Each structure stands twice: as structure tokens, then as C-alpha cells.
Amino acid sequence: MKIAGIAAVVALMALPLIAQAHAHLKQAVPADGSVVQAAPTSFSLSFSEAAHLTALSVQKQGDAQPQKIAPLPADASQEFRIPAPKLGPGVYTLRYRVVAADDNHVSGGMVTFSVAAAAP
Amino acid sequence: MSPDLLAVMVRTLGFVALFQAVGTSFFLAVFAPLLEHCADRIRRLARVAAAAGIVLILAHLALEPARLAGAFDGLWDHDLQRLAWQSGSGISQLLQAAGLLVILVAPERAIGARPLWASGGGLIAVGAFLLTGHTSAHALRGLLAPLLALHLLVVAFWFGSLGPLVLVSRIESNARAVAILQRFSRLAGWLVPLILLAGLSMGWILAGSLSVLQRPYGELLLAKLAGFALLMLLAAGNRWRFVPTLLAGGEGLPLRRAIAAEYGLMVAILATTAVLTAFFSPR
């Protein structure tokens, strides 16, 4: 029984515990992998179903900590448009967490985009 | 450790405690008149499991804001706390805890010869699962809800009976232990296939096609099926080999070891379920 318990824990640790389900991201602006010429003034996220946006952060490549974006909308929605902080040139990762309004399951993901350096 | 991993570990332990408490109360409802020496110990097992379940459910709810934030500092976010506790999932878990509380405080006074108060708490705890998750949000929830209820009730009875059966084999006389084990085997023989029937039906309705087997949700379902198949082998071994040995006056230790193996395997299946329902979707 002890071995079964240890095996269960090992199996759990091996699983990719990134939420991969429930309210899926359908579209993001900036899009994942995109290069934008000007820093976005807002982030748009569209999901497969209505969800509460519970966490949003943006982190520049090389920075130690992400920058939390707040406040977030209190109501559930399929589409969110959130004002973006001021971003300079660089590669950014936008991380989000949502909880689906119908089945209450938590999911999350990330969108990576680049802001091009301003032309001299 | 991430809030997600901690939450799923707590949720797994919560499932173990909940199904132990509920199933043990069902065991007492069915077998109490046959028990001579170990009824009190089995009742204590149900109560300890119920108490542990309540603590673990509340701990899981307390962790939910951290999951919503994706970081442990979310624990202190009042908006996320409100979202967690007032959500359908939060209400479902509070109702599970309420059902376990009924088991914990149920009077020992029997209705007739059978202690049915605690079983009522078990029904509440299991019924609470119907309020949330994929089955509650589906268009065919009128069909899915009774399937889920059937699936969970039989799982609870099977899982929650294993501990009492070990106690019965250790404490009751050989003849009495064999009578109870044989009666349990006959009952389980009818009930346990319903776990598979209900589970496969729900899986088909939720997933809609076999392509789900190529996704993590389907892979975990297959893992549960494999675990179930192994459990059936173990149960068959108990019924056809170890119980007859006990009947013939032999040692009860091999039977208890086999039951312990069943218990460990069911814990692994409950862990798989915790991961499945927390992170993956059938579609």
C-alpha cells in the first residue's frame, strides 16, 4: 500500500500540471508569436466560453519578476480587453488564468509576443 | 511546489477521506446486524475519515484563490477568496463537508437494526458532486447526473468497505468473517460492474468521439480503466482464493494483504480522478 501511494505521488509529479482545458483561449491580441511594431495599449483575450479572468501578468524576457496587471474585470465574459502597461522593445510573455463560469474549472496559459525596436 | 500540484494532492486526500467515510457508513447500513465485535471500531473509522475529509475539503477551498492567481500570494486576495467560496465548485465542496459532518455527528441510535443516519450524510456528500464539473454543465445533464450518482455511490461503497472488511477479518470469528465477506462479494458482484457501465457511458457522452483517447483526458480515462481491470482481478482473487482459505480455517493475512493492495490501487485511481477533473476537459 505504501508502494502504491508513492507510485501515485510519482505519477502525479510526472504529469504536465499546466491546465489544458475548459475555457480555451481562441484568440489573443497581440497574437501568440507575433511581432508588433508599436507597443500594445491593451491586451485582448477571447475564450471558448464565458470565464472569470482571475490573473494576468506580463513579463519581459530577462526580467526576474512578472508585472501583475490589475484590476481585472469582476464579471465573467468570453472576451476581455485589458489596458496594457507601458512596454518597451523586447520579448514578452503574457500569462493568464481563468475559471470557467459553467463548470468552475481553472485553466491558464500564456501568449508570447515581441515589441520591435523603434526605427532610428 | 505550485498551487496546482498542492491543490490536487489535497484534493486526492480529500477524496480518499470522503469516500472512506461515505462508504464505511454504507457498509454499516448493510452489515451492522451481522457484526458482533467490531461495529464500534468501524463506526470510529467512519468518523475519523469524516473529520479528516472536512479538514481536507476546507483546505482545498482555502487553496483555490492561490490556484486562481497561479501563485500562493493569491491566498490573501479577497476577490479571489469570494470567487472561490461562492462558486458552484465552492458550494459543492461545502455541501460535501456538510454531508461528512452528518456522518461525524450521526447518532448511533439505529433506525430499525441499521444505522441509517450516517448513510444520509453519505448521500448528501455524494450528491454534492452533481452540482459542479463537466456533468453539471452539459446539455445532457439530466442523463449524466444519475450516471454520476450511480458511479460515485458504488465507488464509495466498494472503497469504503475495504477497511471494515480488514477489521472484520481480524476481529470477528472466522465463520462470521467469512459470512460477511461472502455476502459482500455477492453484493459487489452485482454493483461493481455498474461503475464501469456508468463510467463508460459518461465518458462517451462527455467526449463524443474516440478521438478523446489521443488527448490527456482520454489517456487518464484509459489509466482509470486499466486500474479498474486490475481491481477486478484482485477482487476475483479475494473471492475465489483467499475467502475460501479463510473458510477452511486458514490464515487471514493473505486476504488482508490483497484488500490492502485493492485499497492502494483505488487511491491511485482517486488521484487520477483528481488530476483529470482539475486540469483536463473531455473536449
C-alpha cell at B36: 458482533
CA dihedral B237, B239, B241, B246 (to 10 degrees): 130
- The residues, any chain, with a CB within 8 Å of residue B82's CB and separated by 6 or more, are none
| Cβ atoms of A28 and A46 closer than 8 Å | yes
What distance in Å separates residue A101's CA from the closest CA in chain B?
9
Residue ranges of alpha helices (H) inside chain B are: 3-31, 39-69, 78-86, 88-105, 117-128, 134-137, 141-171, 174-207, 216-237, 243-247, 253-279
- Kindly state the average pLDDT of the residues B45-60: 97
C-alpha neighbours within 13 Å on the C-beta side of residue B222: 10
In whole numbers, what is the pLDDT of chain B averaged over residues? 89
* pLDDT tens series, chain A, 120 aa: 444 444 444 444 333 333 333 789 999 999 999 999 999 999 999 999 999 999 999 999 999 999 999 999 999 999 999 999 999 999 999 999 999 988 788 999 999 999 998 766
C-alpha neighbours within 13 Å on the C-beta side of residue B27: 35
Distance CA B136, CA A71 (A): 30
The pTM (predicted TM-score) of the whole model is: 0.87
- B267 with A8: Cβ contact below 8 A: yes
Distance CA B48, CA B197 (A): 32
Using the predicted structure, report yes or no on whether residue B110 has a pLDDT greater than 70.
no
Distance CA B279, CA A85 (A): 30
According to DSSP, the residues that pair with B246 across neighbouring strands are none
Q: Interface of chain A against chain B, CB under 8 Å? A: 1, 3-5, 7-9, 11-13, 15-22, 52, 54-55, 74, 95, 97, 99-100, 102-108
- Kindly state the average pLDDT of the residues B42-62: 97
| Cβ atoms of A66 and A58 closer than 8 Å | yes
> Looking at per-residue confidence, does B146 or B237 come out higher?
B146
- B216 with A52: Cβ contact below 8 A: no
Distance CA B218, CA B212 (A): 5
DSSP label at A67?
E
Burial class (CB within 10 angstroms; exposed 0-12, middle 13-18, buried 19+) of B91: middle
Using the predicted structure, report yes or no on whether residue B112 has a pLDDT greater than 60.
yes
- A105 with B281: Cβ contact below 8 A: yes
Which residue does chain B place closest to A55, by CA atoms? B69
Distance CA B147, CA B197 (A): 9
**Per-residue pLDDT at A44:** 97
Return the residue matching grid coordinates 455527528. B105
Using the predicted structure, report yes or no on whether residue B90 has a pLDDT greater than 90.
yes
- Kindly state the average pLDDT of the residues B82-106: 94
Q: What percent of chain B has pLDDT over 90?
A: 58
Distance CA B201, CA B179 (A): 34
Peptide bond into A30 cis (omega under 30): yes
**Per-residue pLDDT at B263:** 92
pLDDT tens readout for residues B8-18: 999 999 999 99
Confidence bin at B169 (pLDDT 50/70/90):
very high
Q: Which of A81, A88, A44 is nearest to A67 (CA)?
A: A88
Q: What percent of chain B has pLDDT over 70?
A: 97
Distance CA B6, CA B11 (A): 8
Element (DSSP H or E) covering residue A29? strand A25-29
**Per-residue pLDDT at A16:** 33
| Cβ atoms of B53 and B100 closer than 8 Å | yes
- Kindly state the average pLDDT of the residues B102-124: 83
**Per-residue pLDDT at B225:** 85
pLDDT tens readout for residues B230-278: 888 888 888 888 888 877 777 778 888 889 999 999 999 999 888 888 8
Separation of first and last alpha carbons in chain B = 28
- Kindly state the average pLDDT of the residues B106-123: 80
**Per-residue pLDDT at A4:** 40
Q: Which of B144, B135, B151 is nearest to B281 (CA)?
A: B135
Instruction: Tell me which chain B residues have a C-beta less than 8 angstroms from the C-beta of A13.
Output: 5
Using the predicted structure, report yes or no on whether residue B105 has a pLDDT greater than 90.
yes
According to DSSP, the residues that pair with A79 across neighbouring strands are A46
